[in-house]
Amino acid sequence: MELLTTKEAFEQAVKNNASLVLLKHSLTCPISSKAKRQFVKFHENHEVPSYIIHIQENRDLSDYVAEYFGIKHESPQVFLIKNGEVIFDASHWNVTAKKLEKVVQ
């Protein structure tokens, strides 16, 4: 799991991976803490490259991701990206390991 902090690092991750999962995570929100635990659980059982953006520390990057994909910013928010396209996104209580597992298969 890798922390993204720049637009360039985000763009490289999208370019260099056929598929990846990305979590936009709030460091202060209890819902986001639960979503992160689900994200980590998924990551531990799958070899899909996984990335996190800490929203409070990288709000510009978080907004850039929303603009890049044309998907409204939410937090927490997870994306499954294949070949540069978002094929699944979820936010808040819908960020679960089980849902990520279903869309990866």
Q: Total domain count for the chain? A: 1
Q: Could you tell me the CATH number of the domain that includes residue 75?
A: 3.40.30.10
Give the confidence band of 104 by pLDDT, cuts at 50, 70, 90.
Answer: confident
Q: What is the pLDDT of residues 45-99, one digit of tens each?
A: 889 999 999 999 999 999 999 999 999 988 999 999 999 999 999 999 999 999 9
3-state SS string for the chain:
CEECCCHHHHHHHHHHCCEEEEEEECCCCHHHHHHHHHHHHHHHHCCCCEEEEECCCCHHHHHHHHHHHCCCCCCCEEEEEECCEEEEEEEHHHCCHHHHHHHHC
Residue 2 confidence (pLDDT) above 80:
yes
- Predicted confidence at residue 105, as pLDDT, reads 77
Give the confidence band of 100 by pLDDT, cuts at 50, 70, 90.
Answer: very high
Domain range enclosing 60: 2-104
Type of residue at 47: E
